[in-house]
Amino acid sequence: MNSTILFRRGRVIDPRNGVDGVRDVLVRDGRVAEVSEAPLSPSGPDVQVVEAAGKLVLPGFIDLHVHLREPGEEGKETVLTGCMAAVAGGFTGVVAMPNTKPVNDSVLVTEYVKAKAREARLCHVYLAGAITKGLQGEEMSEMGALVAAGCVCITDDGRPVMNAGLMRRALQYAQLFDLPVMVHEEDLTLSGKGVMNEGRTSTRLGLTGIPPSAEVAMVARDLVLLEETKGRLHVAHVSCEGSVRLLREAKRQGLRVTAEAAPHHFTLDDEAVGAYDTHARMNPPLRTRRDVEALREALADGTIDAIATDHAPHGVLEKQVEFDKAWNGVVGLETALGLTLALVREGVLSLQRAVALLTDGPAKAFGLPGGHLAAGAPADIVVVEPNAEWTVDSARFFSRSRNTPFHGRRLTGRVAQTWVSGRLVFEDGHIKEHR
Partner 1 sequence: MRHLLGIEGLRRADIEALLDRAEAHLQGGPDASHVLRGRVVANLFFEDSTRTRTSFEMAAHALGARVLNWTAAGSSVSKGETLLDTVRNIEATGPVVLVIRHRSSGAPHLVAKHVRCAVVNAGDGTHEHPSQALLDAFTLRRRWGRLDGRTVVIVGDILHSRVARSNLHCLTALGAKVVLCGPPTLLPPGLESLGAEVSTSLDAVLPRADAVMCLRVQTERQTENFFPSAREFSRLFGLNAARAERLKPEALVLHPGPMNRGVEIAPAVADGPRSVILEQVAHGVAVRRAILEEVCR
Binding flags for partner 1, 300-319, as an x/- string (CB under 8 A): -----------------x--
Which part of the chain contacts partner 1 (CB under 8 A), choosing from 81-89, 151-159, 322-330, 381-389?
A: 322-330
Please answer whether residues 17 and 352 qualify as being in contact, where contact means their C-beta atoms are separated by less than 8 angstroms: no
Rounded CA-CA distance 9/24 in Å is 5
Q: Is 325 in the site for partner 1 (CB under 8 A)?
A: yes
Q: How far is the CB of 281 from partner 1 (least distance, A)?
A: 11
Q: Is 323 in the site for partner 1 (CB under 8 A)?
A: yes
Q: Is 327 in the site for partner 1 (CB under 8 A)?
A: no
Rounded CA-CA distance 119/86 in Å is 15
C-alpha separations of 257 from 78, 166, 266, 376, 394 in Å: 31, 19, 20, 28, 35
| Alpha helix positions (H), 322-432 | 336-345, 351-358, 360-366
**Catalytic residue (choose from 310, 360, 393, 428):** 310
Closest among 432, 429, 419, 425 to 5, alpha carbons compared: 419
Check if 310 is active-site: yes
Q: Is 282 exposed, middle or buried (0-12, 13-18, 19+ CB in 10 A)?
A: buried
Q: Is 290 in the site for partner 1 (CB under 8 A)?
A: no
Task: Identify how many contiguous H helices and E strands the chain contains and give both numbers.
Answer: 14, 19
Q: Which of 1, 38, 53, 275 binds partner 1 (CB under 8 A)?
A: 275
Q: How far is the CB of 405 from partner 1 (least distance, A)?
A: 16
Output 208 or 352, the one with its CB closest to partner 1: 208
Output 209 or 378, the one with its CB closest to partner 1: 209
Q: Which of 4, 92, 141, 201 binds partner 1 (CB under 8 A)?
A: 201
Q: How far is the CB of 216 from partner 1 (least distance, A)?
A: 16
Output 200 or 290, the one with its CB closest to partner 1: 200
Binding flags for partner 1, 203-222, as an x/- string (CB under 8 A): xxxxxxx-------------
β pairing state of 91-96 and 61-66 = parallel
Output 266 or 323, the one with its CB closest to partner 1: 323
Determine the residue type at 24: D
Q: Which of 104, 202, 239, 399 binds partner 1 (CB under 8 A)?
A: 202
Please answer whether residues 88 and 334 qualify as being in contact, where contact means their C-beta atoms are separated by less than 8 angstroms: yes
Closest among 144, 80, 94, 66 to 310, alpha carbons compared: 66
Q: Which of 321, 367, 387, 396 binds partner 1 (CB under 8 A)?
A: 321
Please answer whether residues 93 and 62 qualify as being in contact, where contact means their C-beta atoms are separated by less than 8 angstroms: yes
Contacts of 417 (CB under 8 A, 6+ apart): 50, 381, 382, 383, 424, 426, 427, 428
Output 91 or 323, the one with its CB closest to partner 1: 323
Binding flags for partner 1, 254-273, as an x/- string (CB under 8 A): --------------------
Q: Is 346 in the site for partner 1 (CB under 8 A)?
A: no
Name the residues annotated as catalytic. 310
Q: Applying CB under 8 A, which residues contact partner 1?
A: 198-209, 275-276, 317, 320-325
